[in-house]
Every structure is written in structure tokens, then in C-alpha cells.
């Protein structure tokens, strides 16, 4: 069965430092991977996705993610964190198989806290 | 474009009461979804509708029913609410014709408390 894991419940970073939010996946076949962000009391917002092609994917708000097939990882990164990046981040993988509805499987989320 | 809208934003129910959560999208998306979000659990799929006229169970369908009223609207009904259904509920929809892309767009959520 497909699954995605976010090993860290919380990540703390100082403003201006680089940040990484980790995600590992388990799928059969080629994975379609996503990152979403949730600000307090809001719905999820799409950040970026990997379908195929370049392993480094660039997304919204200066975020990028690196797809690593050998390590089955899709870590989210940003070179210089902002206080406004503080939010809950979700990794997701497309559920394959009989999936005409484009279902996604979400990780449990990682709370990112950026301090001034 | 309003995107994905949900009503109500907040609701408090007593155990055994029923209610319907409404969701509508104006992006001409084919597929729509209902999730619940609980602390430490991420988002779990309750039901989804791949296209107008079809609905299917997700990971946690027990205690819920859905109706895909038309292409725009997808409602979630709790027939007899239980405290275990206290959660934040999100509706989402997907761009049509890009089945392998599946970028989902989310509504603002409904915060439901069952006493």
C-alpha cells in the first residue's frame, strides 16, 4: 500500500537560516508527490509537486523540494527561512491503482516554527 | 472565482443530532473530496466523488454519507453525530483532465464539535 511519512512533528529554525522539512514515501511504481502548507485556521494550499523530470522542483514562496528515488524521499527546502513561513506542512503522494478520482494520501504533518 | 467554499465555518452539535456540511467549487473540477483533520493524524479521506454522479468511500467513511448534487456541489452528512466526529472537515477539488497531476484545491474548513 502507498504511504508517506513525515518523521518530525516539529521543526524549529531561526529566521534567515535554511530549512528542511522531511518526507519519505513508499509506493509501487513511479510516485507523484506533493507538498501543501496550512496556515492557522486556513485550508491547505498547494506548494509544489513532482510528477516526472528534474529531481529539483521549485514551488511557491521560494520553496523547493528534491526528489530522491534511491532514498525514497521528497524533502522540502528553503534557503532562507522567514517568520511568515511558520505553518503546518503536509507531504502527500498520489494513491495509485484503481484511482480514477485522483486520491492523495497525506502524511501527518510537520509544524514549522521560524523564530526571529 | 471563489474557489472552494464551505458552510458552515463552525458548528456545535449534541450527540445524536444530524447535520449536513456543504461544499461548492466554481473551477469546473470533476473530482471532489471530503477529509477530516485531527491532531497528529494528518488528513484522512472520508468520501470522494471522481465525477458527477459517482461517490466512493475513502479511509474513514463510517458514520458519514455524501451526495454529489451536481458538478459544483458535494455535501457531507452526519446522520447521528458522535463525539468521535469532533474534527475539522475540509472539502477539496481537482483540476479536470489532469488525472496524473491531481493538484487538489481546498476549502477553508468547517470546525465541528460534538458534545
Question: Is the CB of B90 inside 8 Å of chain A's CB atoms?
Answer: yes
Residue B9: helix, strand or coil by DSSP? coil
pLDDT tens for each residue of B81-99: 999 999 999 999 987 555 4
Output the pLDDT for position B50: 86
Smallest CA-to-CA distance from B16 within B80, B64, B76 is with B80
Percent of chain B at pLDDT > 90 equals 75
CB pairs under 8 A between A and B: 68
Contacts of A100 in chain B (CB under 8 A): 50-51, 99
Smallest CA-to-CA distance from A65 within A47, A53, A38, A84 is with A47
Shortest CA distance from A4: residue in chain B: B42
**A112 and A14 Cβ atoms separated by less than 8 Å:** no
Write down the residue that cell numbers 472552494 correspond to: B4
Smallest CA-to-CA distance from A33 within A67, A58, A59 is with A67
* Rounded distance between C-alpha atoms, residue A102 and residue B96, angstroms: 10
Shortest CA distance from B109: residue in chain A: A43
pLDDT tens for each residue of A34-43: 999 999 888 9
Task: Name residues whose C-beta falls within 8 Å of residue B40's C-beta, 6 or more positions apart in sequence.
Answer: A9, A108, A109
Task: Name residues whose C-beta falls within 8 Å of residue A34's C-beta, 6 or more positions apart in sequence.
Answer: A46, A47, A48, A49, A50, A91, A92, A93, A94, A104, B102, B103
Using alpha carbons, list the distances in angstroms from residue A14 to A115, B35, B63: 5, 33, 44
| Cβ pair A51:B56 closer than 8 A | no
| Cβ pair B104:A94 closer than 8 A | no
pLDDT tens for each residue of B24-74: 999 888 899 999 999 888 899 999 998 888 999 999 999 999 999 899 999
Output the pLDDT for position B51: 86
> Is a pLDDT exceeding 70 seen at residue A101?
no
- pLDDT confidence tier of residue A32, bands split at 50, 70 and 90: confident
Task: Name residues whose C-beta falls within 8 Å of residue B60's C-beta, 6 or more positions apart in sequence.
Answer: B36, B44, B45, B46
Smallest CA-to-CA distance from B25 within B47, B49, B59 is with B49
pLDDT tens for each residue of A41-69: 889 999 999 988 889 999 999 999 999 99
Output the pLDDT for position A95: 74
Amino acid at each position: 500500500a502507498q504511504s508517506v511519512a513525515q518523521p518530525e512533528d516539529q521543526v524549529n529554525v531561526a529566521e534567515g537560516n535554511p530549512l528542511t522539512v522531511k518526507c519519505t514515501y513508499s509506493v509501487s511504481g513511479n510516485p507523484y508527490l506533493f507538498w501543501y502548507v496550512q496556515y492557522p485556521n486556513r485550508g491547505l494550499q498547494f506548494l509544489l509537486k513532482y510528477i516526472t523530470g528534474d529531481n529539483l522542483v521549485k514551488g511557491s514562496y521560494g520553496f523547493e523540494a528534491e526528489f530522491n528515488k534511491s532514498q525514497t524521499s521528497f524533502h522540502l527546502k528553503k534557503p532562507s527561512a522567514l517568520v511568515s513561513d511558520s505553518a503546518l506542512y503536509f507531504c502527500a503522494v498520489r494513491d495509485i491503482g484503481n484511482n480514477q478520482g485522483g486520491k492523495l494520501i497525506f502524511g501527518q504533518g510537520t509544524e514549522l516554527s521560524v523564530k526571529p | 472565482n471563489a474557489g472552494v467554499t464551505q458552510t458552515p465555518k463552525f458548528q456545535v452539535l449534541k450527540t445524536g443530532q444530524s447535520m449536513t456540511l456543504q461544499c461548492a467549487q466554481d473551477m469546473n473540477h470533476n473530482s471532489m473530496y471530503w477529509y477530516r483533520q485531527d491532531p497528529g493524524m494528518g488528513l484522512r479521506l472520508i468520501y470522494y466523488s471522481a465525477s458527477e454522479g459517482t461517490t466512493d468511500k475513502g479511509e474513514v467513511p463510517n458514520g458519514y454519507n455524501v451526495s454529489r448534487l451536481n458538478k459544483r456541489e458535494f455535501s457531507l452528512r452526519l446522520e447521528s453525530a458522535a463525539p468521535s466526529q469532533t474534527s475539522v472537515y475540509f472539502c477539496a477539488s481537482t483540476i479536470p483532465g489532469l488525472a496524473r497531476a491531481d493538484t487538489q484545491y481546498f476549502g477553508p474548513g468547517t470546525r465541528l464539535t460534538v458534545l
